[in-house]
Structure 1
C-alpha cells in the first residue's frame, strides 16, 4: 500500500467525498483533483490497492479473478433460488479493489452504439453529446476512422502483445460464410453486426489499462498535488444529511481486511458535494441506508429517518446473460492459454522469464450479430413482436455479442487439449431484477433477485437459443474444429442429429471436412430446443455487466437521478456509475463506465466552479 493511501486523523472535513473507487469513481476523483487544485477531495474505497498486484497488471492473469474466493472480488448472490434458473442462486462478482471492474475484468474493448445513448432519452446524454467523452479517455491504437477515437487519453487501447492469428482467421472466415462480415471497426459507434479481431484495454507493451493506475496514480505520486486523499480498505455505510442536504458520509474499516477488532464508525463532512460511485450492485444500498429509497423498503429495513421517498432505488437491475461453450480444436499449445490454466510451473516460468502471452486477455475475436429475416421467422411470435418493435427499423443494433476465447475453463480430459470457448450474451435483455437492503448496517444481507431469464414471454431465452446455434455453426465451419467439449453443451436426446461429436481427423483432411460442414448446417428438433433451453436455465450466468439500479430518468418514471446526476429530493448528492443506465448498453460495459465518469466529472467541475464564483 503506497504512502499516499491514507487519511490523516486531523482530516474530518473536505470539499468533496467520493464513495467508491471503481472505474467511474477513479475518473471523477482524478479529473476533479486536476481541474480544481484548490478543492480538497476524499475517495473512499472498500478494497485494497491494485498497485504492484501482478494479477492486475498482467492481462493474462485475469482468470484468477474468476475465482469466487478472489480477494479482489465482491460476490453478490441472489437471496433465494430463482425458478427460471432451474432453482439456482446466481452469484455475480463485482470489483473489490481500487479501480473496480477495470482492475479485474477481461479488458475487452467494446463500445455502446450512439443509438444506445439516445435511448436514455436524457438531455445532454445523447450519442452525439457523448462522443467527446468517449474519445477523451482513450489513446486508440487500432483500425478505423481516427476521428471516432481518442488519441491522447490515459487509457490505451491496442491488440496487446499476443495473438492467435490462425484461430482468428479461420473463425472470421466461418462467420463470413454465415453472413456476418469482417468489419474494420466494430466499435465505430454505429456498426451493428460483424466480427473483428479483438482490441483490448491493454497497452502495446502488454499492461492492463485500469482506472486506478492510469487516472489516480499519476496524481497521487505527484508531490505538488496535495488536494486528493484516497482511503482504502474502508467502506461507506451511509450518507449523512442535514435536513435534505448531503453533509458528509459515515464509513468504517472493511472487516475483510481488518479483523482484529469490530470496525468503528467514523464520519467526514463534505462542504460541497457527496458522490456515490459504488456501482449498480452497491450504490442503491448506500442510498437506502442513508434514508433515500422506497419508504416501504426503508421501513422494513429499520432505517430510522426517511430523507427522500424514491421507489426507483434498487429497481430495474439488469445484466447481460452470458454463457460459454467449449470446443475441441487442432490448435497448437502456443496458440491458447490453457497451459497457464493447468500448469502452475509453466505460468511461473512465464512470469519469471517474461512471455508475450502475458499481454493477452485470451479473447481473440469479438462479434456482434443480428438474425436474418429467415432466422426471425423461426424464433416465435413473442420474439417477432419485439423484433418489429425494437430492432427492425431505425439505426440497426445487434441482438447478441460474444467472443472467441483461447481457453477452456472446464476441460475434463486427463491431459489438457487445446480446447477453446465461445462466449455469447444478450445485448438488450428484457428481464429485470432488484436489489434492496434488509437492515440499516452494511453487514446486513441484501435482498437480491437477479431476474436473469425471468421475462414472462421467454424472449431472452429465445435469443440465447439462437445465439448458441449460431456460434456453434461458426466454429463448426473452421478447419481447426474437432467437436464439442460435451460437458459444456446441452444434453441432447439419444439419436439427435445435433448431438455433440469428437472428430478424429488428420490435418490433411480438415479443409475438406470444414467445407463439407459449411454445406450441412445442423438441424434441431423441438426436443433439441427443449434440451438447449434447459441447459441454459441450469448454467447461464452473467457478463459482470450490472446496470440500472439508480437510473437517470424522470422521477415519475422510476428515476433516481436527473440529467446532472443529482438525486431527486435532496441536495448535494450525486450518483456517478453505471447504476444510472436508463436503458440497455449493447456492449461490454467498461467503456461506458469510463465515459460516464468523464461526463460526470465535466458536470461536477462546472457546478463546483460556479459554486466557488457565486
Structure 2
C-alpha cells in the first residue's frame, strides 16, 4: 500500500502498531515486514512523507529544516532556565518520516568501545551490538570487515562531495596540537580516539540516505509486501489497554499542521487495534509523553494531568540527556565554490549548487573525539578534576568532547557579511546535567513541562570552556584562518591576549610555531557568559525511558518491555540508560536493529529468510 494520510478502508486492526516513523521505527517496520509478508504492520508518523522532498535528498539543504516556519521539525519549548541566562530554550527534533535521519547533517559516528558495556544490561554489550552495527550498513571506507558491514540497507561513503583542500588544512592543524589522525574512529577499538576524514550517510551519487529510504520505501514500492502500512501526518495520542493491562491498540488524530479539521466541540480521535503488540518509537521527547498520556508514569504527574494510572513507572520522562553543542565561526579566504555560504546566503541558487556539485555537500569533512591532558584537567579547576577522576581518568575510550568542522557559517546569514566562513562545532559527550519532560494534560496538543537541564552542573560549563579553547587553537593553525567572527564569540577585554583578531594573512604565514593563547580568569568568565547565552542541543536527545531496573528509575527491561503492562515495547533513543560518545544517528539505527531482532524472536521469526534484494545495500 502506498503511504496515505488516512487508514485504508477496513484496516481497523493490524498485528503490530509502531508509533513514530523515526530512525528506530523505520528499522523495526522494515525488518518485520521483510521477515514475514503475512505480518500486518502499521506505522503512524506525525509528520509528512519524506519521499521526493528535495530538502531531504540534497545534503546541502539540511539547514532549511531549522528555519522557524519548518514543518519537518517538532519544536519543544523548555522552561526558562537560570543556567541559560534566563532563556526559554526551543529544542527541535526530526518531525517527518525518517525522523532525525531525514534532517540531520549525515555524519557517520558510532558509540565508543565502552558505551554499550556501560549500560550493564545482558544482551546489550559492545560485543553483542557490533553485529547489529555491521548488519545495518553498506560501508565504503577505511576499516576492516570485522568491524563493518558491506550489504546493509544504509550506505556510508567517504567519496561523496568533500573539499580536500580545507580537509587537509584542518587535519594538519590538528596534528600540530598533538592529536592523532585515525583512519577509522568507528572500529570500537579500546582507547581509539583522535580525528578522521568523516564518513557520511550519503550515497555515491550524492543523495542523503535516511532510515525511510533505506528500510521502508523499498518495501512500500514492492507489491510483494502489501503487509506494511504507513500513515503519515497523524499524531498518536495514547496507547489503549484492556482490563489485563495489555496494549491492544492506539488512539490517534490527524495532525492539524497538514489537515483541515472541521470545527467541533470535541477533538477528533480515531482508534486502530493491535492483535499482537504496540511499539512506541516517538523519540526521547515524544515517547515519555505518549506513555504518560496512556497512564504509564509517575502517579503524581498523571494526577496533575487528569490521567488514570495504569502502571506506576516513576522513571518515565526523567533522566533527560543530550550533548551540549556550540558553534564557533571563523573568517576565511576561501572561494565561493569551497564553502556553502553563497548558497545559504542566497547568492547561489540550488540549481547552480547542483551544477558545481555543492548541492551534494554536507559541509563537514573532518570529525574527532578528544580528551584533555592531565595538565589541562588541572587548569579546569578542582571540581572538574574530581569529576574527571570519577568519570573519565580510568577509561581511555571516553572522549570529553567531539569536534567537527563545517565549511560555512551556520546560522542566520542576514546577520553576517556576504563572505566565506568556516565553523567548528564543539559537542560535550557525557554531560553531567539532567533534565526531564512530562505531560501537563491528557491530549498531545497540551504543551509539555520540559527542562533541558543544560548547564545545571558547572562541570559541563568547564567542558565547553575547554572545547572553545581547543577549537580556537585548531582554527588559528589553519592556512585558511583570517580571524574570528565577532558575532559568534565571547566579548573579551580589549587588552586581553584572547581578544579577537581580523587578519589579511594566516598566522602560519611566518612559518613559526604558534604559542597557545593564555586566558585569564576574566577571560574564562567572558567565555562562560557567552556559553550560557548560546549553548544548545546537538539534537541527540535520549534516556527518558531508560532500560534499567524499575527500582532504579528504569522504564523498560532488556527486551524493551514497558514495566507494569503487557504487549508494549519502546524502541528508540529514550531507552539508553547512559549517554554515548558519538553522534546518535547510528546508535538509533542499532537500537532499531536490536529491537527488531527481539520482536522477531518473540514472534518466532528470528530464522525467517528475507527475500533476495530486500533491505540490503542494493534495494534503494
**TM-score per shorter chain, which class?**
over 0.9
Q: Contact (CA 8 Å) 1:6, 1:230: kept in 2 or not?
A: no
1:452 is aligned to: 454
Aligned to 1:409: 410
Does residue 183 of the first structure (1) align with residue 178 of the second (2)? no
Where do residues 80-91 of structure 1 align in structure 2 (5 Å cutoff)? 80-91=79-90
Q: Is the 8 A contact 2:35 2:605 kept in 1?
A: no
Which residue does 2:341 correspond to in 1? 338
Shift of 1:344: 5.4
1:130 — aligned with what? Answer: 129
In 2 relative to 1, CA 2–8 (structure 1 residues): closer, same or farther, beyond 3 Å? Answer: closer
3-state SS in 2 of match to 1:114: coil
Cα distance in 1 for partners of 2:568, 2:37 equals: 21
Paired residue for 1:547?
542
1:56 deviates by 0.4
Stretches of structure 2 that go unaligned for 5 or more consecutive residues are 609-620
* Uncovered stretches (5+) of structure 1, i.e. residues with no partner: none
Q: Which TM-score applies when normalising by structure 2?
A: 0.94
Distance (whole Å) between structure 1 residues aligned to residue 231 and residue 416 of structure 2: 47
Determine if contact 2:42/2:228 at 8 Å carries over to the other structure: yes
> Are 2:578 and 1:576 aligned?
no
2:114 counterpart SS class: helix
Q: Equivalent residue for 2:103?
A: 104
Deviations 1:304-351 (A, max 9, x none): x21100110000001101010100112222111111101254323334
Measured against aligned partners, the alpha-carbon deviations of 1:518-542 in whole angstroms (never above 9, x if no partner) come to 3321010000000000000001111
In structure 1, the partner of 2:302 is 298
> Any idea what the Cα deviations from partners look like across 1:344-401, whole Å, max 9, x if unmatched?
54323334xx342221110121011100111111111111112112211144211000
- CA-to-aligned-CA distance 1:184-204 (integer Å, 9 cap, x gap): 111112354211112111011
What residue is the counterpart of 1:264 in the other structure? 268
2:34 aligned partner: 34
Task: Check whether the contact 1:75–1:92 (CA below 8 A) recurs between aligned residues.
Answer: yes
Q: Secondary structure at the match of 1:387?
A: helix
Distance in structure 1 (CA, Å) of the matches to 2:101 and 2:256: 23
The residue number in structure 1 matching 2:612 is none
- The equivalent of 1:324 in structure 2 is 327
The alignment partner of 1:579 has SS state of: helix
Cα distance in 1, alignment partners of residues 183 and 606 from structure 2:
46
> Which residue pairs with 1:601 in the alignment?
596
Provide the rounded CA distance (Å) in 2 between the counterparts of 1:387 and 1:412.
Answer: 41
Instruction: Tell me which of 278, 294, 298 is aligned to 2:282.
Output: 278
- CA offsets 1:166-199 (integer angstroms, 9 cap, x no match): 2111111111111111111111123542111121
In 2, Cα distance between the equivalents of 1:594 and 1:290?
Answer: 26
Aligned residue for 1:500?
Answer: 500
SS of 1:423's partner is strand
Q: Tell me what 2:292 maps to.
A: 288
Partner of residue 533 from structure 2, selected from 526, 534, 538: 538
Mean CA deviation greater in 603-612 or 332-341: 603-612
Shift of 1:114: 2.6
How far, CA to CA, are the matches of 1:33 and 1:184 in structure 2?
A: 36
Once residues 486 and 558 of structure 1 are traced to their aligned partners in structure 2, the CA distance between those partners, rounded to angstroms, is 44
For 1:364-443, list aligned pairs within 5 A: 364-410=365-411, 415-443=417-445
**Equivalents in 2 of 1:218, 1:432: separation in Å?**
39
* Contact preservation (8 Å) 1:391, 1:397: yes
The change in CA–CA distance for 1:230 and 1:31 in structure 2 (over 3 A counts) is same
Cα separation, partners in 2 of 1:40 and 1:150, compared to 1, 3 Å? same
Q: Which residue of 2 aligns with 1:313?
A: 316
The aligned residue for residue 471 of structure 1 is 471
Segment of structure 1 superposing worse, 422-431 or 601-610:
601-610
Q: CA RMSD in A?
A: 1.8
Q: Distance in 2 between matches of 1:192 and 1:291?
A: 44
Shift of 1:100: 0.4
Aligned twin of 1:210: 210
Question: In the alignment, what sits opposite 1:173?
Answer: 172
State the Cα distance separating 1:277 from its structure 2 match: 0.2
Q: Match for residue 512 of structure 1?
A: 509
- State the 1:415 CA deviation: 4.7
Report the Cα distance in structure 2 between the residues aligned to 1:284 and 1:34, rounded to whole angstroms: 29
CA distance in 1, matches of 2:49, 2:532: 37
1: CA distance between counterparts of 2:160 and 2:358?
7
**CA 1:448 to 1:414, structure 2 compared with 1: closer, same or farther past 3 Å?**
closer
Query: Secondary structure at 2:449's aligned position in 1?
Result: strand
**In structure 2, what is the equivalent of residue 483 of structure 1?**
483
Contact 1:160 1:203 in 2 (8 A): no
Q: 1:575 to 1:404 in 2, by over 3 A?
A: same
**1:62 Cα deviation after fit:** 0.6
Asked if the contact 1:401–1:425 (Cα under 8 Å) also holds between the matched residues in 2, the reply is yes
Note closer, same or farther for the CA distance 1:160–1:361 as it changes in structure 2 (3 Å cut): farther
Instruction: Call closer, same or farther: CA 1:560–1:413 in 2, change over 3 Å.
Output: closer
Q: How does 1:239-250 map to 2 (within 5 A)?
A: 239-243=239-243, 244-250=245-251
